[in-house]
Structure 1
Amino acid sequence: MADDSSETQDLKARGLKLQGQLFMAFFRIGIFGFGGGPSMIPLVHQEVVKRHAWMEDEAFADVLAIGNTLPGPIATKMAGYIGYRVGGTLGAINAVIAVIVPLIVAMIGLLGLYARYGDQRWVHGMGLGVVPVVMVMMAQLTWDFFAKSRAGMGLVATLATGAAAAVLILVLGVHPGLVIGAILIAALLRPDPNPDRKRAQGEESAP
């Protein structure tokens, strides 16, 4: 009986610790995600993949791709899904609150600061000084995704897909969500290049 009680307390402690880690991870994302939107993606990657290892790069890329096909801010969508995956329903609520609250507080505070000191040069410099840092983080994440794509698809397919996406999004003005959705559908409809190998694997795993 005492062992059961001790085990229950241990599970609760680990659950609370995990929820605390989730909250702090997405709180940091909310605090340092200057500019919001895409600029927060490298921070999410740093916390979720590199710091806590809650998911692999491939899974993160899938979440990012699917999240971009849906309406709404990408940061809250990723926070909700990752929080749910790591900590269940409570984790989803926890992560979303953690990433939203800093944004609201910062917005109120910065707008008040700007209204009072908007004519000061240092106020304008606050936002401009962060831009190069965000640029470097986005470049690093882009390179990581390029390396993963090249390893999985090959260099030619990666460059061709990237070039086609660039033309559709930057030149023709197609919404990124539509481009990502079309690629996902094409991947689902593409015939399996190695059906015999999958059949053999299924036979080996069968009892």
Structure 2
Amino acid sequence: MIYIKLFISFLKIGVFSFGGGYAMLPLIQEEVITKNGWINLKEFVDILAISQMTPGPIAINSATFLGYKIGGVLGAVVSTLAVITPSLVIILLIAHFLRKFKESKYVDWFFKGLRPIIIGLIASAAILVAKNTIIDIKSLIITLAIFYLVTYKKLHPILCIVIAGGLGVIMY
């Protein structure tokens, strides 16, 4: 039964998410914490941190880690397949029809209409993570320092992860 619930939950996430992995995070949070109570918010933030540090898309990594936490290896497989299935089907359909309609003003309007939604979902994910990881002045300093290094100094994200980890060890 848990595998069916996992599949349906992550299939819904895959169907109703536009804009990539970060846009999926609020939907994942709603499904696994609020609706089903499979994990708590602290565990969710920890899984997000691991998902960001491991190679691959964050949504797939999150689905895999969450599925494993909830249902073991089979749960990981089920969650991962469920979250990628809608994208795979949609991309195949779009590829087939986009050639025919790529100059359509309606298609252009549709994609322009999705942009604000995607920005909102990504902002929601950023706020969620910030609220649960910036717990004191030290974590705020690390956050601002890494934001500056990535945004303005264009340091590689992997290097920034190492720097943030080192700062965490030193400051805590």
**TM-score w.r.t. length of structure 2:** 0.88
Indicate the RMSD between aligned Cα atoms, in angstroms. 2.0
Distance 1:145 1:131, change over 3 A: same
Distance 1:191 1:120, change over 3 A: closer
Distance 1:84 1:106, change over 3 A: same
Distance 1:24 1:124, change over 3 A: same
Report if aligned partners of 1:37, 1:74 keep a CA contact under 8 Å in 2.
yes
Could you tell me which runs of 5 or more consecutive residues in structure 2 were left unpaired when the two chains were aligned: none
| Residue matched to 2:140 | 159
> What does 1:120-139 align with in structure 2 at a 5 Å threshold?
120-139=104-123
Matched, 1:64 2:48: yes
Q: Kindly state the Cα deviation for residue 137 of structure 1 after the two structures are TM-superposed.
A: 2.5
Report if aligned partners of 1:117, 1:123 keep a CA contact under 8 Å in 2.
yes
Deviation per residue, 1:41-81 (Å, 9 max, x gap): 22222222222122122211111112211211111111111
| Residue matched to 1:98 | 82
Q: What letter matches 1:159 in structure 2? A: L
More displaced 10-residue stretch of structure 1: 72-81 or 31-40: 31-40
| Residue matched to 1:31 | 15
In 2, the alpha carbon distance for the partners of 1:181 and 1:80 equals 24
In 1, the alpha carbon distance for the partners of 2:150 and 2:85 equals 32
> What does 1:9-48 align with in structure 2 at a 5 Å threshold?
17-48=1-32
Distance 1:178 1:33, change over 3 A: farther
In 1, the alpha carbon distance for the partners of 2:17 and 2:66 equals 17
Q: What letter matches 1:167 in structure 2? A: Y
In 1, the alpha carbon distance for the partners of 2:171 and 2:146 equals 22
Greater relative CO, 1 or 2 (CA 8 Å, sep 6+):
2
| Residue matched to 1:51 | 35
Distance 1:190 1:80, change over 3 A: same
Matched, 1:146 2:130: yes
Distance 1:35 1:142, change over 3 A: closer
In 1, the alpha carbon distance for the partners of 2:166 and 2:37 equals 29
Report if aligned partners of 1:41, 1:75 keep a CA contact under 8 Å in 2.
yes
Q: What letter matches 1:67 in structure 2? A: S
Deviation per residue, 1:83-115 (Å, 9 max, x gap): 111011111110111011111101011122211
Indicate the percent of aligned positions where both proteins have the same amino acid: 29
| Residue matched to 1:182 | 163
Distance 1:34 1:134, change over 3 A: same
| Residue matched to 2:100 | 116
Distance 1:83 1:20, change over 3 A: same
In 1, the alpha carbon distance for the partners of 2:53 and 2:47 equals 10
